[in-house]
Amino acid sequence: MTDRYAIIGNPVAQAKSPALQTAFAQQFGEDMSYGAILGEPGRFAEAVREFQRSGGLGMNITMPFKLDAFELADELTPRGRAAGAINMFTLRADGTILGDNTDGFGIMRDITHNLGRSLKGARVLLLGAGGAVRGTLLPLFDEQPAEIFIANRTASKAVDLAAEFSAQAGGIRLAGGGFADIAGRFDVIINGSASSMSDEVPPLPAGIWDKDSLAYDMAYRKEPTAFVRAARAAGVGQASDGLGMVVEQGAECFFLWRGKRPDTAPVIAALR
């Protein structure tokens, strides 16, 4: 029988996961199908269990169900628990569900593998203090930057987030504050705030980036985001949106489900 997977969300028609997972399966000749499920408010758990009972082996979860997925999972991976939100289920034969979050992995993979940027010893600025940034922290720690500063409009949220993860940061200098607290130049600036959804740029001070910096926006659009445009206008040498992150987080899901690592370069190129 063909192995079945799906993404659940509301809305879900715009999701790229079916195209991604189908392309990955074709690379390896895997006998699997990947569909989309329009989740109904209040019936998320019911839809997941129904898919599992029908033989489904795994699911991706998109908005607005990532927090519901966190609550439904019987077991969480360390990075899933740290993120506080889940974008991937492995549906086990014994009826239990393993929840994971591959978004942070996707960001780090895109930066280090596709963009060729080493983060070891780097000074990193994270913009925002929501789920996207939470999910990035543990994978970012693995890359061994020297310093991470989390900046958010509500400074206390960034301060609290830095304090929450301080014990896991090892020797990395980790701190948080408001945008007014940002000081000095950074090697890598990652925008995980909601600003790009409204095509705006966070209120960043001058001098935080230069021609040797990387400006990375977790969001993506057909045209460059306001954050990417601002970075390029400031002379930043390397600026990228989050399309590669979307592909890489999907590739990580495929690897965890199927045990094979897809070649993401042709998929990213096709989506571009």
Cβ 127 vs Cβ 202: under 8 Å: yes
59 and 117 in a single domain? The answer is no
Q: What is the pLDDT of residue 114?
A: 96
Task: Identify the segments of the chain with pLDDT beneath 70.
Answer: none
- How is residue 94 written in tokens? 């014994």
- Spell out the residues 6+ positions from residue 164 whose beta carbon is closer than 8 angstroms to its own: none
Q: Could you list the active site residues?
A: 66
The answer to whether the beta carbons of residues 31 and 39 sit under 8 Å apart is no
Query: What CATH number should be reported for the domain holding residue 95?
Result: 3.40.50.10860
Q: Are residues 234 and 113 in the same domain?
A: yes
Q: Number of structural domains, the chain?
A: 2
236 and 195 co-located in one domain = yes
Q: Are residues 164 and 142 in the same domain?
A: yes
My answer on whether 237 and 143 are in the same domain is yes
- Kindly state whether residues 162 and 195 are assigned to the same domain: yes
Q: What is the pTM of this model?
A: 0.93
Residues of the binding site for shikimate: 62, 87, 103, 220, 249
Which residues define the annotated binding site for NADP(+)? 128-132, 152-157, 218, 242
Is there a single domain that holds both residue 30 and residue 15? yes
Q: Which residues of 12-31 are buried (b: 16+ CB within 10 A; e: fewer)?
A: beebebbebbebbbeeeebe
* 39 and 148 part of one domain: no
Task: Note the pLDDT of residue 19.
Answer: 94
pLDDT tens sequence across 113-157: 999 999 999 999 999 998 889 999 999 999 999 999 999 999 999
- Do 160 and 88 fall into the same domain? no
Annotated binding site: 62, 87, 103, 128-132, 152-157, 218, 220, 242, 249
Residues 61 and 109 in one domain: no
- Which domain does 236 fall in, by range? 104-241
